[in-house]
Structure 1
Amino acid sequence: MKLHPDQTRELALAVLDTEAQAILDLRERIDEHFMRACEYLLACTSRIVVTGMGKSGHVGSKIAATLASTGSPAFFVHPGEASHGDLGMITSGDVVLALSNSGETDELLTILPIIRRLGVPLIAMTGNRQSTLAREATVSLDISVAREACPLGLAPTSSTTATLAMGDALAVALLEARGFTADDFARSHPGGRLGRRLLLHVADIMHTGERIPRVRAEAPLREALLEITRQGLGMTAVVDERDHVIGVYTDGDLRRTLDRGIDVHATTIGEVMTRTFKQAAPGMLAVEALKLMEDHKISALPVVDDSDTLVGALNMHDLLRAGVV
């Protein structure tokens, strides 16, 4: 067995072209049937129950996951297991979304009478508009393809791609209708990077209490240098008697101080501190603090509350550890 690069590339491109065309063909089917399906799904007061056998089942699992993560509660039920007890998962407030390219999948047809008896809307996604599933459905969506991308015309390829694309179209249409936002998405993905970027606040990761680098303005410069070294954040806040931040001093400020030949033993921090500085608030999103640092090319920020009191400190390493960067 030998791989022929040119022939392999040609075949791979043909697969992509065939599947791309299958998706484009769906454009004409975003019609009144699609709109009715969206209306039933949007009116669902409970869950969207997705079911399908074989490759349709694998695609159905993904569609259910996409629906659930975009504001439409959904889960997948295997049709084979459904007839052995799992039909109890379907309640009167649900909507069933059934996937079958042929529309004649035995396991699905077996449970159709039960679904009909429950009185729940049945939305079919099938490649055969004359099939039993299509006829029994409340709404039938046509996901037929001209041909499979498999050169044998046997392996589900274009058909599964079209099914998945139609499922995404439903999910995104519902997302828009529900007014689902990026914050809503983040709340359903708290463990993912997007969730951390949209949900994590400065207060969640900032240094507090004794871990905040701070010195008084009248402190000798050498004391500020010790504080920067001790806390390891690359900066120290300079505060007044009320703990209000009046300046900052960073590693970069130290280099500039030394370049000017200033005596670190005879100078107070108040004389060399940066009086115009950037700061964060505890309620600020961590990703906003990151943008502030990136825009101004700084690596650390004091964190102050509404009364301008120092309550924390944050640096780039904290954002890295939290997975925001």
Structure 2
Amino acid sequence: MNDRLDLGDHEQVMSALRRVLGEEGKALTALAASLDDDWVEAVRWMADCKGRILVSGLGKSGIVARKIAATLTGTGTPAFFVHPVEALHGDLGIATRDDILIVVSRSGGNEEVLALVSSLGAHGVRSIGLGAGDDSELARRADIFLHTPMQREACPLGLSPTTSTTLAMAAGDALAMSLLQTRGFQREDFALLHPSGALGRGLRMTVAELMHTGDGIPAISVDACLRDAAVEISGKRLGCTCVLTADGSLAGFISDGDFRRALLEHDAPLDLPVADLMSTSPVTVPADCLARSALRRMESNQPGPIMQVVVLEGDRPVGILHIHDILRAGIRS
């Protein structure tokens, strides 16, 4: 089938998109159902590997192999991509007997890939084949072969690698994520390996990097009235104000929710002393607290989530952190 799409026909284009996604989705479901003991053994080999995971492939399979190597490396398993042709022309020296080779090949019959498996095998390097050809030469030469069964490519011509590359990519993800869980890899480990990325920065970011400080901290005296609190809350635009003793220590906290409740519960609330209305045990965090930990505190607060926390140094407020500051930084709990 190779009918030309009419871009003016919305349903025809939508049908073409859904057909490809549907075929690849079914293939992934079939792959999950077909897993055998070889997959478990492959995870064990990789987890016990004393060297590195070498991942190789040619053409589209090479692109998939690069992604698998990158995912492994980024989740705590040392790995890198090896080009099969370059490896056969002098780069085999990078491999040691402690390494494991993963070869990605749709057909399992590529000569350069097969030569790489045999050459590294002669040096004592164990190999894991990954592909659709369960009766291929790669399946026979590899120490373990992970079959990714498929009926056809999603390409309407049946030619362009589509379903096969999706299956190989997903298989690589499954291996990498299984290793991640085996190693007990945590968010903090991810941050160490991705220090400059948005995810890494978010995982490492502290309250001190986001909080409002100095004149930006809303604060009034413990001797003030609710009218003073209203002015400070409106002026600093953080929906709250700290209440301080004469020496600058934190005595309490007034949120805009506290303010609204006072308006509803009292006939003339603006002249009431804040000492009678403030919370005397607000949620506080230190400046070196991770921002995502502060976010969890805010979201899990009882009896309900809160929008701000007071940042304390000793008993003195040194900042206010608003939940919007955390979310704007792209941090999620």
TM-aligned CA deviation for residue 160 of structure 1: 1.4
Match of 1:324 among 297, 306, 331: 331
What residue in structure 1 maps to residue 278 of structure 2? Answer: 274
CA distance in 1, matches of 2:54, 2:14: 40
Secondary structure (helix, strand or coil) at the match of 1:146 reads: coil
CA distance in 1, matches of 2:151, 2:270: 81
CA distance in 2, matches of 1:65, 1:207: 38
**Contact 2:47 / 2:179 at 8 angstroms: preserved in 1?**
yes
How many residue pairs were aligned?
A: 321
What residue in structure 2 maps to residue 15 of structure 1? Answer: 20
Alpha carbons of structure 1 residues 8 and 289: separation in structure 2 relative to 1, 3 Å: same
Match of 1:286 among 271, 291, 294: 294
What residue in structure 2 maps to residue 312 of structure 1? Answer: 319
Structure 2 residue 245 is matched with structure 1 residue 235: no
Alpha carbons of structure 1 residues 118 and 293: separation in structure 2 relative to 1, 3 Å: same
**Contact 2:285 / 2:294 at 8 angstroms: preserved in 1?**
no
Match of 1:166 among 158, 165, 171: 171
CA distance in 1, matches of 2:263, 2:197: 44
**Contact 1:100 / 1:126 at 8 angstroms: preserved in 2?**
yes
Match of 2:221 among 213, 216, 240: 216
Superposition TM-score, scaled by structure 1 size:
0.81
Moved more, 157-166 or 235-244: 235-244
**Contact 2:24 / 2:154 at 8 angstroms: preserved in 1?**
yes
TM-aligned CA deviation for residue 43 of structure 1: 0.8
Structure 2 residue 305 is matched with structure 1 residue 301: no
Alpha carbons of structure 1 residues 295 and 85: separation in structure 2 relative to 1, 3 Å: farther
**Contact 1:193 / 1:324 at 8 angstroms: preserved in 2?**
no
CA distance in 1, matches of 2:13, 2:239: 55
What residue in structure 1 maps to residue 250 of structure 2? Answer: 245
Superposed counterparts of 1:125-144, under 5 Å: 125-144=130-149
TM-aligned CA deviation for residue 64 of structure 1: 1.9
What residue in structure 2 maps to residue 123 of structure 1? Answer: 128
Moved more, 9-18 or 251-260: 251-260
Superposition TM-score, scaled by structure 2 size:
0.79
Alpha carbons of structure 1 residues 25 and 251: separation in structure 2 relative to 1, 3 Å: closer
CA distance in 2, matches of 1:11, 1:239: 65
Superposed counterparts of 1:27-42, under 5 Å: 27-42=32-47
| Percent of residue pairs identical | 40
Match of 1:100 among 105, 108, 133: 105
Superposed counterparts of 1:69-218, under 5 Å: 69-190=74-195, 194-195=199-200, 198-208=203-213, 211-218=216-223
Structure 1 runs not aligned, ≥5 long? none
Structure 2 runs not aligned, ≥5 long? none
Moved more, 205-214 or 39-48: 205-214
**Contact 2:299 / 2:306 at 8 angstroms: preserved in 1?**
no
What is the one-letter code of the residue matched to 1:93?
A: D
CA distance in 2, matches of 1:8, 1:227: 57
**Contact 1:198 / 1:287 at 8 angstroms: preserved in 2?**
no
Moved more, 292-301 or 120-129: 292-301
After superposition, the C-alpha distances for 1:117-161 in whole angstroms (9 at most, x for unaligned) are 432221111222343322222211112322222232212122112
TM-aligned CA deviation for residue 15 of structure 1: 3.0
